[in-house]
A and B are shown apart, each in its own frame.
Chain A
Amino acid sequence: MVGNDHEAGAEVHPIELVLARLLRLGSLIAAALLTVGIALMTMGMTVLAPKLITAGLLVLLGTPVMRVVAASIIFTKERDWHFAFFSIVVLCAMAAGIYFGKGD
């Protein structure tokens, strides 16, 4: 097992580790907020609970957006201009989608 991990680790790109950390942080915060929110809901705290759950859902929603932002920063730092440009195209399309989507 250790040998395999070592072998796989030989050419691990830092980007995978950074993104994995970011996504784990996002899902942990979201899961914690959701768990507390649902627990409070079952105890009958109907004012605070939906707010906590919504906060958890919003953290989850922000995670993929942050992931693309992080990728564009990493590619820029590595001077990988092709991929830095690709990430920015993705971000612009997402931003435009949000802008136009709200219209209807």
Chain B
Amino acid sequence: MVITFILVFVLGIVAGVVGAMLGLGGGIIIVPALALGFGMPMRTAVAASTVCIIATSTGAAVAFLRDRLTNTRVAIWLEMGTATGALTGALLAGWVNQRLLFILFGVLLAYSAYNMFRTRKEEHKEEVTPDAISQRLRLRGSYYDKALGRRVDYQVSRTIPGLIIMYFSGAAAGLLGIGAGIFKVPAMDQVMGMPFKASSATSNFMIGVTAASGAVVYFARGDVKPLVAGPVVLGVLIGAILGARLMVHMKASKIRLFFMPILAYTAIEMIYKGVKWW
């Protein structure tokens, strides 16, 4: 039992580091590892993974907030979309054709993977012109990039399309039981014109709120098994703190290189799931 504890703990550290750097929850690693690698029931794995998403978000946020990478105003604005989306997703679960959803989201992910590949060499977006809402709400930011050794000032644009995408990513989180960080980062980075690091940190900040509503349900149903979730979550917490410190010193173009294969993999897996169940 002690050996399983240690293995699960190490798994948590890895998932925490990756999740914190990329602005994801790390569920992409944790769910298959617990279900396939350790032979745990899917519900236990998903419930543990949901708590891990909160751990990544909380652990990494401290460093990102201090380094001014997290944009709290953008986060609150977009959380309106993710929170109402998650609510819709929870209400619609069982009504909507899941296969169609999987395929739809898969195609969307493949498209953002392609976009990210196209812009892989860009460290930052060229001049972004803010729209009326982002100006009114002062949605802009500025941070000191430790990898580039200079200040980065940015403006946010396409505020309403961003909010709409967040609504659907929230709905995906509610329907598919995922953290949906994989939708949030490209929405901010590719659509709203935020720098990749600010997008990743802000996504990281937001996924905790998205996952918290789901986690309450799993707790109420008794799916959160303390002996499984305890060691993984502790690992994730430590991993996320380490990952956040690492990310601050890395170049955005390097982090993108890690992000692309994960996007592509998730896209293929989602489309495959959708087609398989047809």
Contact = CB atoms under 8 A, between A and B. Distances in A.
B226 A60 contact: no
A41 B227 contact: yes
B87 to A, nearest CB: 5
Contact of B209 (A7, A49, A67): A67
B70 interface: yes
Interface of A: 4, 7-8, 11-13, 15-17, 19-20, 23-24, 26-27, 30-31, 34-35, 37-38, 41-42, 49-50, 53-54, 56-58, 60-61, 63-65, 67-68, 71, 75, 82-83, 86-87, 89-90, 93-94, 96-98, 100-102, 104
A60 B55 contact: yes
B59 interface: yes
B62 A83 contact: no
Contact of A37 (B1, B80, B87, B230): B230
Contacts of A75: 76
Contacts of A98: 213, 216-217
A58 B226 contact: no
Contact of B237 (A20, A31, A96): A31
A94 B76 CA distance: 13
Contacts of B229: 53, 57
B219 A23 contact: no
A34 B233 contact: yes
B72 A19 contact: yes
B234 A94 contact: no
B65 interface: yes
B159 interface: no
Across chains A and B, which 5 residue pairs bring their CB atoms closest together, nearest first?
A93-B83, A64-B208, A53-B230, A53-B226, A101-B217
Interface in B76-95: 76-77, 79-80, 83-84, 86-87, 90-91, 93-94
A23 B58 contact: yes
Nearest to B208: A64
Contacts of B220: 101-102
B188 interface: no
Contact of A64 (B54, B66, B143, B238): B54
B62 A63 contact: no
Contacts of B59: 27
Interface of B: 1-2, 5, 51, 54-55, 57-59, 61-62, 65-68, 70, 72-73, 76-77, 79-80, 83-84, 86-87, 90-91, 93-94, 137, 142-144, 146, 151, 174, 208-209, 211-217, 219-220, 224, 226-227, 229-231, 233-234, 237-238, 241
Nearest to A82: B137
Contacts of A94: 83, 209, 212-213
27 contacts: A4-B146, A8-B151, A16-B70, A20-B62, A30-B55, A30-B233, A34-B237, A38-B234, A42-B5, A54-B224, A57-B51, A57-B219, A57-B229, A57-B233, A61-B219, A64-B57, A65-B212, A71-B76, A83-B73, A89-B84, A90-B80, A90-B83, A90-B209, A93-B83, A98-B213, A98-B217, A101-B220
A17 B91 CA distance: 36
A42 B2 contact: yes
Nearest to A71: B76
Given A27-B237, A41-B227, A94-B209, A63 B58 contact: yes
Contacts of A24: 62
Nearest to A9: B68
Given A50-B226, A65-B212, A16 B83 contact: no
A7 B151 contact: yes
